[in-house]
Copies of this chain bind each other. A is one copy, B any other.
Amino acid sequence: MKEVRIGLLGAGVVGTSLLQLLDKNREKIQRHYGINLQLTTIATRSPGKLQGKTNVPVTDDVLSVTNRSDIDMIVELIGGTDTAYQAVRSALENGKTVITANKALLSEKGRELYPIAAKTGAELGYEAAVAGSIPIIRTLRDGLSSCEFEVICGILNGTTNFILTKMEQEAWDYSTALKKAQELGFAEADPTFDVEGIDAGHKISLLASLAFREYVSFASLSVKGISDLQSLDIQSALSLGYRIKLLGISKRSSAGVLTKVHPTLVPLDHPLANVMNESNAVFYKTKEADSGMITGKGAGGMPTASAVLSDIIYYASRLGSKDIAKENNLFPEAKAFPEPDNLVRYYLRFSTVDKPGVLAEISQVLGRHNISIASVQQKESTSEPVSVIVVTHGATEGEFQKSLQEIDTMSTIIKQKTVAIRLLEKL
């Protein structure tokens, strides 16, 4: 039987779930895959916390593990880009297979790590880094490897999807929904990474790079989160037949790759509209196989640990095979499609004074920028500002930005900054 010796770095929620899973599945993995997984050592900041929970030797010296010659595979569950970076770098330099759940590390430092792996022949698995238990990395690398992708997009952050679901279903405002998410452990004390779209940005940059086999850097993305979304807009969108979702979107044409994160009005009959609570989903469109979608649990100790273990099994089966053909992960840099040229549609909520001619003035500005109106909704109101909701037809992002700048300075009719949320583009 093939023996694979593993060093585990990090023993937090995912790490301890992995310890349980490894114990439970050891015999099954031997029987089904002919692999004997040997957890050799664990490195964690607080070795004392593991006392009594495992028989495996524990250390607080990460690099002592990545440098050990009797270890074949490093599982990095530390998180962040400091110690984790040092450890993964060291492991790859030593030719060890690395399994990680660290999207920030890969999105920000992958460009440095992959050449090292290519040089030493080490492999780097990161199924658990994107969309938790959804096996989207394996799907892009193997399941759909023959396909030419045109679009990859998705609901990639469970925290924000939970908050949006609650804002809709309970008619809560953003801060109430965030507080509930924090109480339930779905959101961190400092939720910035999640709610401002940074986490989704890391993930869509990884997915886009893999789908298009061109490097899409996180730095090249435009990212907007959900922290200024109002319950009113969520309800208004719903009454118009749309559900607001925070999407990571990347699309590729001959003119380049455009990748971004923003709240999006998704038509209710689109499969992404029905992914609720903390679930994640990845939607794709390819030339050969049309469109498809994968949904599942996006986070949580056990779902993430199961993705880590699936990755361990996959790479363990390949370990030490000299004749195996390995995928080339050194992608050329993607040519960026200029966002101002992108054709989009918008939901616009103007906060106006209550006097005749307001709608005429607004639509004149839009018209001058070649933006035509698909629908207008204005409810009777007894107080200012009056909400005028416009859903537009398609125009370029650049024209939208110009027209909104213009409208928001029309102080005689506009009382508050216009709320502008994009509709799901024709994908």
Contact = CB atoms under 8 A, between A and B. Distances in A.
Q: Is the interface of A mostly helix, strand, loop or mixed?
A: mixed
Residue of A143, A294, A327 ringed by the most chain B CB atoms within 10 A = A143
Interface in A302-321: 302-303, 305-307, 309-310, 312-314, 316-321
B33 A328 contact: yes
A115 interface: no
Interface in A285-299: 286, 288-297
Interface string A124-165: 000100001111001100111111000000000000000000
A3 B324 CA distance: 12
A33 B326 CA distance: 6
A197 B269 CA distance: 27
A2 interface: yes
B142 A138 contact: yes
Count class of interface residues, chain A: 35 or more
Contacts of A133: 144, 147, 288-290, 292
Nearest to A325: B317
A317 to B, nearest CB: 4
A362 B296 CA distance: 42
A329 B418 CA distance: 60
A185 interface: no
A223 interface: no
Contacts of A292: 133-134, 294-297
A290 B286 contact: no
A213 interface: yes
B294 A294 contact: yes
Given A317-B327, A323-B323, 17 more contacts: A2-B323, A32-B213, A32-B328, A33-B325, A33-B328, A34-B328, A133-B147, A134-B292, A138-B142, A139-B139, A145-B309, A146-B307, A146-B309, A271-B271, A289-B306, A319-B323, A321-B323
